Amino acid sequence: MSELHLDNVFVTDEELPTPQPDLILQPENVFINDNSASGSGEFDSCEALIGFKSVLPSSTITGQNEKPDYPFGNCLDFRDNTQYSPNLSNGSVVIEFAQSTASTVDYIGIGIHNGGTAVLTGQLEVEVDGVYEVVTVFTALGDNKTIVEYFEPKQTSRQRLTLNFSNPLYIGNIYIGKAWAFDKTPSLGFTPAATNSLDQLEGFTSDTNQFVMGRIVERGFGQKGQFNFMAWQGDLNSLNSIYRDYMFHVKSGKAVFMKWNKQINQNFFGRAANPNNLQAPSYDTNNTGTFYFDYRGFD
């Protein structure tokens, strides 16, 4: 089981400044997409999602304005102990991504960051038919509080990410891609990470045995559950269509993003608790099966 590394992640006990959404830059000639309007059937029926696919590793990237010791490539290496940092103490960066062919994207995930201390806000735009559309706007809720935003699927080969910050910013992981969308929330018995700390208290006595001392060993958060009665085949979100890609991603030690309820802003970023013993989907009926997950990481 791999340990969580917190190197270069900055956490403070000081009260966080109030985020300022009005810092978000709105470029000219940009269409603001209203995701509250009715969209595709898949978008309307999605109740939970897991994000593991990303177009960024195969993209041409410009505008990142990176510090030499914290290049943007650190966001793409699937590691949890490297970070990207803009070469600014405060301000904004507008990062553009371009792919050789168009693909469908419907989520962005940002994990392991100091967005609370940095007062991070931002927006994602995607280019559709030559026009950029703002598909989501976000605000960091605290340091290391995972950001996952889901939006109506768009076919695109260019994206533009704006990051605004008032203090030096460090980000460990960014995914943009097509999510595994579920038409239901996890089944009964689900344990959300927000209420499942894995931290451990290590205690020991002094040489005189007069008192007990202890320290907290940070182990992150655990998120565990299952989705019952999932279709084996059918659309792109069925088990036969997507599970193999997910399986090889997870068994290679790579992390995933998860939003377990689209209506609740409780997000997660982490790895399988034991990739070598990944539990395979099980049979429910001739047409349905159960998908299991057991993650360890950041809420």
Q: Which CATH number characterizes residue 176's domain?
A: 2.60.120.260
**Among residues 153, 182, 211, which one ends one of the domains?**
182
Residues 29 and 62 in one domain: yes
Residues 70 and 162 in one domain: yes
**Among residues 161, 182, 203, which one ends one of the domains?**
182
Residues 44 and 123 in one domain: yes
Helix (H, G, I), strand (E, B) or coil at 287: coil
Residues 49 and 130 in one domain: yes
| Rounded CA separation 137/22 (Å) | 11
How many structural domains comprise the chain? 2
For residue 173, is pLDDT > 70? yes
Inside any domain, residue 13: no
pLDDT band at residue 2 using 50, 70 and 90 as cut-offs = very low
Tokens for 227? 């989705």
pLDDT band at residue 10 using 50, 70 and 90 as cut-offs = very low
Inside any domain, residue 172: yes
DSSP 53-121: --SGGGSEEE---BBTTB-GGGGSS--SS--B-BS-SSEEEEEEEEEEEEEEEEEEEEEEE-HHHHT-E
Inside any domain, residue 9: no
Residues 35 and 166 in one domain: yes
Residues 176 and 241 in one domain: no
When computed from its CA atoms, the radius of gyration of the chain, rounded to whole angstroms, is 20
Residues 124 and 211 in one domain: no
pLDDT at position 4: 46
Q: What is the mean pLDDT of residues 138-143?
A: 93
Residues 109 and 155 in one domain: yes
Inside any domain, residue 73: yes
pLDDT at position 131: 95
Specify which residues 124 forms β-bridges with: 136, 161
Q: What is the pLDDT of residues 249-298, one digit of tens each?
A: 999 999 999 999 988 888 999 999 999 999 999 999 999 999 999 999 88
Residues 43 and 168 in one domain: yes
Residues 162 and 225 in one domain: no
Q: What percent of the chain has pLDDT over 90?
A: 65
Residues 28 and 167 in one domain: yes
Inside any domain, residue 187: no
Inside any domain, residue 104: yes
pLDDT band at residue 196 using 50, 70 and 90 as cut-offs = confident
Q: What is the pLDDT of residues 61-107, one digit of tens each?
A: 999 999 999 999 999 988 878 999 999 999 999 999 999 999 999 99
pLDDT band at residue 211 using 50, 70 and 90 as cut-offs = low
**Among residues 128, 147, 182, which one ends one of the domains?**
182
Residues 167 and 197 in one domain: no
For residue 3, is pLDDT > 50? no
pLDDT band at residue 11 using 50, 70 and 90 as cut-offs = very low
Looking at every residue in the chain, the average pLDDT score rounds to 85
Range of the domain at 248: 193-298
Inside any domain, residue 1: no
Inside any domain, residue 2: no
pLDDT at position 104: 96
